[in-house]
Amino acid sequence: MRVLQLYNDYRSHQGGEETVVRGINAIFEHRGVKARLVTRSSKGIEGRVTAKAHAFFSGIYSWSARRDIGEELRSFRPDIVHAHNLYPWFSPSVLSECRRAGVPVVVTVHNFGLTCPHWSHIRRGEECTRCLGGREYWCVLRNCRESVFESVDYALRSTVARRLRLFHDNVTMFVALTQFARQWLAAAGFDPDRIALLPNMVPILETPSDAGKGTYAGFVGRLSHEKGGGLLIEAAAQAPEVPIHLAGDGPMKLAWSAGTPPNVTFRGLLARKEIARFYRLARFMVVPSARFDMCPMVILEAMGHGLPVITSRAGGLPELVEDEVTGLLFNPGDAEDLARKMRGLWADPDRCAAMGQAARERAGREFSEDTYFHRLMAIYERAITLNAENLQ
Residue percentage of the chain with pLDDT more than 90: 82
Task: Supply the DSSP string of 338-383, one letter for each residue.
Answer: HHHHHHHHHT-HHHHHHHHHHHHHHHHHHSSHHHHHHHHHHHHHHH
Q: What is the pLDDT of residues 334-387, one digit of tens each?
A: 999 999 999 999 999 999 999 999 999 999 999 999 999 999 999 999 999 999
β-pairing, 173-176 with 2-8? unpaired
pLDDT at site 74: 97
Q: Is 101 exposed, middle or buried (0-12, 13-18, 19+ CB in 10 A)?
A: middle
Partners of residue 34 on adjacent β-strands: 2
CATH of domain 211-366: 3.40.50.2000
Rounded CA-CA distance 131/121 in Å is: 9
pLDDT at site 290: 83
pLDDT at site 256: 86
> What pTM, to 2 d.p., does this model score?
0.93
81: pLDDT strictly greater than 60: yes
Rounded CA-CA distance 254/277 in Å is: 25
User: What value does the mean pLDDT take over residues 24-48?
Assistant: 89
**Fold agreement (2-114+167-201+369-391, 211-366):** yes
Give 207's pLDDT tier (boundaries 50, 70, 90). confident
Task: Confirm if 332 and 315 have CB atoms less than 8 A apart.
Answer: no
Q: What is the pLDDT of residues 297-308, one digit of tens each?
A: 999 999 999 999
User: What value does the mean pLDDT take over residues 159-173?
Assistant: 97
Give one word for 147, left, alpha or beta, with left for phi > 0 and alpha for psi -120 to 50. beta
Can you give the residue ranges of every domain in the chain? Answer: 2-114+167-201+369-391, 211-366
12: pLDDT strictly greater than 80: no
Q: Which fold has domain 2-114+167-201+369-391?
A: Rossmann fold (3.40.50)
